[in-house]
Amino acid sequence: MLRFLWRRFVAGLATLLVALFIMYVLVDLAIDPLADLRESTAPNKQQLIDQRTALLQLDTNVVIRFFQWLGNVATGDLGTQWRTGQEVSSLVASAIVSTLQLVTAATFVALVLGVVVGIVSALRQYSSFDYIIIFLSFFLYSLPSFFVAVLLKQWGAIGFNDFLRDPVIGTGVIVVVALLSAGLWSLAVGGSVRRRMQTALVAAVATGGLLVYLQVSGWWDRPHIGPVLLALFGLGTAVAVTGVFAGLQNRRALLAAIVVAVLGVVLSFPLDAFFRSTDDESNWMTALVVAAFTAGGAAVGVAFAGPDKGVSARGGAITGFVVGALIIVDQVMGVWPAYFEFLRGRPIATTGDRTPSLGGNYWVGLLDTYTHLVLPTIALILISFAAYTRYSRASMLEVMNQDYIRTARAKGLPERLVVVRHGFRNTLIPLATVVPIDIITLIGGAIITENIFGRPGMGQLFVQNLGEADIEPVMAYIAITAALAIIANVVADIIYAVVDPRIRLDA
């Protein structure tokens, strides 16, 4: 392993230096810091040109300037934005935080949904559900990101904000949504006609009941999760996770997950009182709560043991993570009325990453971050989801036709075990190469999405400074994204070796 990492480090460093040199020369040829002065009608035009030439060392050979810049970078100095005098390091730090907020949620949600839907689509090959997913994925993948962003602004922000003025869901809408949910779930689950009818009935009742509850309880005026929804989502997660990873016949694993969900509901009351009474509110506190629920859920799973401690622990940990995250979300929702009133009934933002002069406590700031993230995140999710769905479907179809899958079935193993234990792991092998590169690509900045939604991320940093002919911020962007791309390739190789035991890094 160490030899592999050393070889990749040396090769990556050499590649990075060559790439940075080439890009520095190309950027220097592409920009003209003197363009505005050449068009100037000022009487001291030549003096201004000479001053800027001296400031930016434009009379020095580009190769010498590159090595001067590289030497400064080696000491941690990324340079200065010459138009404003700001340190490039501070600009990059602010931009990368905004981009990471956007990329983290979008990548995680798109990956989970894409893999799950792609696998189900592969298992229902040539069914109605499969054809629907194929059409939807190709449709979303072909949509330009700027078009998706504009539609989200119109219907996801303006339309939803208008709905919040008089939040009434009609009976007809509830019936239609419940029927659509019933049809989709029945197609996804499949099976006999009786099983499909049962699935459709459960999905219709659950969806319709949830919408009726939201309408009757006045949830749109004071959105909250509370013990009722927390219990429903927690128990639903417990049953779903156990059904997938252990099978509902594994009573100990199911009981462990249910106990975690119930404990989460019980502990939500003292946690709510604690959050209301403490002034020590921070990202560390919320992360600690979610981590504690996850670890506690795993511990409960180990305590209940059963045929497989690992399966029980995994189910308890996932259930604990979901319950802990919902408790944090409930705290954020608690400040919604004040936030809604401050923004005069228009809470879903269409531009920027924060509301100016907002004030308020930690939860208000967190809610403000979420409302600014929701639209650009959905835009990235829709496009990434389509790609991950296609990757996972194709990979699953290939895996399920392998000899070891037929052998597992011939042994009499349940289909769930064949899919989860034997098929799912090997389905992830192609994604191990794709996902790290996609993440780094997004960290480099979703240029179009950030521009439309006005987020001051890495993409905006690159575009703005390239337009202003400022080479040092542009090169800082290129250096960071290039270094992360090299690291992503190394990480992809390591993940590849983890999920595929046939690969040896020290070979």
- DSSP line for 320-389: HHHHHHHHHHHHHHTTHHHHHHHTTT--S-SSSSS-TT----HHHHHHHHHHHHHHHHHHHHHHHHHHHH
DSSP for residue 1 = -
Q: Which CA distances in Å does 310 have to 45, 95, 313, 408, 497? A: 74, 40, 5, 21, 21
Please give the pLDDT value at position 319: 94
Please give the pLDDT value at position 231: 92
Return d(Cα 267, Cα 81) in angstroms, integer: 51
Please give the pLDDT value at position 279: 60
Please give the pLDDT value at position 283: 65
Return d(Cα 65, Cα 293) in angstroms, integer: 53
Please give the pLDDT value at position 238: 92
pLDDT tens digits, one per residue of 399-408: 888 888 889 8
- Torsion angles phi and psi, residue 80, rounded to 5: -135, 140
Please give the pLDDT value at position 190: 81
pLDDT tens digits, one per residue of 35-58: 888 877 778 888 888 888 888 888
109, two tokens? 């949600």
The pTM assigned to this predicted structure is 0.83
Judged against a pLDDT cut of 60, whether residue 280 lies above it is answered with no
Judged against a pLDDT cut of 70, whether residue 149 lies above it is answered with yes
213, two tokens? 């509850």
Judged against a pLDDT cut of 80, whether residue 499 lies above it is answered with no
Query: In sequence order, what DSSP letters do the residues of 134-179 get, joined into one string?
Result: HHHHHHHHHS-HHHHHHHIIIIIIIHHHHHHHS----HHHHHHHHH
Please give the pLDDT value at position 501: 67
Return d(Cα 178, Cα 204) in angstroms, integer: 5
**Average pLDDT over the chain, rounded to whole?**
86
Please give the pLDDT value at position 69: 92
Residue with tokens 């480099």: 444
- Of 166, 229, 223, 219, which Cα lies nearest the Cα of 339? 223
Return d(Cα 441, Cα 462) in angstroms, integer: 13
Return d(Cα 301, Cα 214) in angstroms, integer: 33
pLDDT tens digits, one per residue of 296-348: 999 998 888 766 778 888 889 999 999 999 999 998 898 898 899 888 888 98
pLDDT tens digits, one per residue of 377-418: 898 888 888 889 988 999 899 888 888 888 988 888 888 888
Please give the pLDDT value at position 455: 85
Q: Is residue 49 within 8 Å of 38, Cβ to Cβ?
A: yes
Angle at 48 between CA 42 and CA 54, to 5 degrees: 170
pLDDT tens digits, one per residue of 186-218: 988 888 889 899 999 999 999 999 899 888 888
Q: Count Cβ atoms below 10 Å from residue 393 Cβ, excluding itself.
A: 25
Residue 6's pLDDT band (cuts 50, 70, 90): confident
Tell me the residue length of the chain: 507
Q: Is 186 helix (H, G, I), strand (E, B) or coil?
A: helix
Q: Count Cβ atoms below 10 Å from residue 76 Cβ, excluding itself.
A: 7
- Of 443, 482, 464, which Cα lies nearest the Cα of 22? 482
Please give the pLDDT value at position 468: 87
| pLDDT above 90 as % of the chain | 23
Judged against a pLDDT cut of 80, whether residue 278 lies above it is answered with no
Helices vs strands, H then E, count in the chain: 22, 0
Return d(Cα 237, Cα 100) in angstroms, integer: 28
Judged against a pLDDT cut of 80, whether residue 20 lies above it is answered with yes
Q: What is the average pLDDT across 16-40?
A: 89
Return d(Cα 122, Cα 124) in angstroms, integer: 5
Return d(Cα 378, Cα 399) in angstroms, integer: 30
Instruction: For the chain, give every domain's residue range.
Output: 168-217
Residue with tokens 């156990």: 242
Residue 222's pLDDT band (cuts 50, 70, 90): confident
340, two tokens? 């809604």
Q: Tell me the chain's radius of gyration from C-alpha atoms.
A: 27
Please give the pLDDT value at position 306: 65
Return d(Cα 62, Cα 187) in angstroms, integer: 62
Query: What residues does 80 pair with on adjacent strands?
Result: 87
- Torsion angles phi and psi, residue 504, rounded to 5: -120, 120
DSSP for residue 418 = I
